[in-house]
Amino acid sequence: MSFTRRHFSKIAGMAAASVLAPSALRATGAEVSGQKIGYCIVGLGRISLGHFLPGLLPSQHGKVTGLVSGSPDKAQKVAAQYGVPAASIYTYEQYDQIRDNPAIDAVYIGLPNSMHAEYTIRAAKAGKHVLCEKPMCTTVEDARAMIAACNAAGRKLMIAYRCQLEPANLRAIALIRSGAIGQVEAIESAYGFNIHPGEWRLNKKLAGGGPLMDVGIYSLNASRYLTGEEPQVLSAYSSVIDRDGRFDEVEENVGWTMKFPSGIVASCNTTYGANMDGYYKVHGSNGIIELSPAFGYDGIHLRAQVAKPGGGQGHDEIDMPAPLKDPQQFMVEGDYFAECVVNNKPIKMSGEEGLRDMELIMQIYRAAGMNTACITGGTQDAGSGREV
C-alpha cells in the first residue's frame, strides 16, 4: 500500500465529511468487535478479492472476520491471507450460522445481482448489518423486502455506491450546490464496456438485466446526486446490434433521457458492446464540470471551468487530480459503513437510495419497451413535455 494511516485519515475526512476519531468508536446497539467492525465477505469473486478485501487492509474501522464461498480451496487460501480462522469460513448452505459468530458484525455482499436479496435478508435475520453491492437486487419487490428485513432486525443496510464517498464526485456536488457553475441546464453521462462472452452478467437469471443494471446505474445514480432531484419523466431506447450470442438474455445498449423538476435534462448511455469510459459532464450557465473518468476504481479526474467570483472575465480552471487509488475507495466505503454502524448514524447510500434506483431502472426498461414512461404526475414547464 502506498498510503499511510495519516493519509487515510485525511482522505476519509474528505470523503465521508466526518471525523473518524477512535473515540467515536463506541457501540450503540450493534455488536462491535473491539475497535473494528468485523466483516464477513459473502462471495469471493473479483470485487471481493481484488478490491473490497484489499481495501480493508489499511482500514481503521473494518476488518475481515468471516468468509462465505462455495469453493473451500479458495476460501482457505483467502482465510490464510487475511487471518480469518477456519471456523469462520462458511459455505452458502452454512451461511445462517454466521448468527452464532460474534466476530461478525456485518456482511459485505459481493455476489451476482440476483443473489443480493436472499443473502441480505438472511444476514439481517442472523442479526448482521449489510453492506450490499449495487445494483441492490434485480426487482423492486426484492429491494423492499431487503429494507423491511433489515428494519425488522434493527440492522443497517447500505448499498455500495462508493462514488457517493469519492472526493472528486463530492467536489462536483459541492461545486454545483455552491452555485459555482450557475444554474445546471443539462447532464450527459455514459458508462459501458465490451463484454466477454460467458460472463455471469450475460445471464439474466443471475444479473437481472444488462448494462443498465451493471454500469448504467452509475450514470443514473450520478444524475440524481448531481442534481439533488428525482427524475420527473424519462424515456429510453434499448437495442441489440451484435447477434453473436452474448445478448440472447440481456440488452446490449440502453440510451435514456430524464427530465428533472427544475428542468435539468440528463442524457445517459450504457452498453455491453463498446468500451465507453464512465464519465459525466454537467453543463451550467456559468461553467462546466467534467469527471472523466468518473466512476472507476482509480484515476477519477475532475476538470471544471467556473465563472470568476464577482463576474470577472473568463473562467477559473479547476483541475483536481485523482486523489484515491484502488483499493482506497473500498477502504473509505468499508470505514464509512463501520462508522455509521458503530455510531448508529443514518447512511446516505441507504436501502431506500438503492430502491429508488431499482424503481428507475425498471421504469427505464419499461420506457425502452414502449418508448415512453411517466414517473410522476408532476406538472412540467409550459411548452415542454407532458405526460401521455
Site of interaction with a second copy (CB under 8 A): 182-183, 185-186, 188, 190, 192, 194, 233, 235-242, 251-257, 259, 262-269, 271, 273-276, 281, 283-285, 288, 367-372, 374, 380-388
Angle of helix 5-16 relative to helix 167-177, nearest 10 degrees?
Answer: 30
Smallest distance, a second copy to C-beta of residue 366, A: 10
Provide the CA 314 distance to its chain's centre, in angstroms: 36
Nearer to a second copy, 146 or 306 (CB): 306
Contact of 39 with 129, CB cutoff 8 Å: no
CA dist., res. 372 & res. 237, Å (int): 9
Asked if 258 contacts 268 with a C-beta cutoff of 8 angstroms, the reply is yes
Q: Which is nearer to a second copy, 32 or 187 (CB)?
A: 187
Minimum distance of a second copy from residue 184's CB (angstroms): 8
From the CB of 372, what's the least distance to a second copy, in Å? 4
Instruction: Give the containing element (helix H, strand E) for 255.
Output: strand 253-259
Choose between 124 and 294: whose C-beta lies nearer to a second copy: 294
- State how beta strands 184-192 and 265-271 pair: parallel
CA distances from 296 to 9, 152, 278 (A): 22, 34, 7
Question: Strand 233-239 to strand 373-374: parallel, antiparallel, or no bridges (unpaired)?
Answer: antiparallel
Assess contact for 334 and 62: CB atoms under 8 A. yes
Tell the smallest beta-carbon distance from residue 327 to a second copy (Å). 25
Q: Using DSSP, state whether 48 is helix, strand or coil.
A: helix
Given the complex with a second copy, which of 345 and 366 has the nearer CB atom?
A: 366
| Per-residue CA distances from 348 to 139, 159, 354 (Å) | 21, 9, 10
C-alpha cell at 214: 451493471
Residue placing its CB nearer to a second copy in the complex, 35 or 384: 384
As measured in angstroms, the least distance from the Cβ of 354 to a second copy is 25
CA distance 382 to 98: 57
Q: Is the CB of 216 or the CB of 327 nearer to a second copy?
A: 216
**How many residues does the structure list for the chain?**
388
Element (H, E) at 369: helix 351-370
Closest CA to 128 of 106, 144, 110: 106
Sequence-distant (6+) residues with CB within 8 A of 14 are: 167, 170, 323
Q: What is the CA angle 106-111-113, rounded to 5?
A: 115
Least spacing, CB of residue 317 vs a second copy, in Å? 14
Provide, rounded to whole angstroms, the least separation between the CB of residue 385 and a second copy: 5
For a second copy, the closer CB: 76 or 286: 286
Identify the CA nearest to 105 among candidates 50, 51, 155.
155
Question: What are the catalytic residues?
Answer: 134, 218
- Peptide linkage before 102 cis (omega within 30 of 0): no
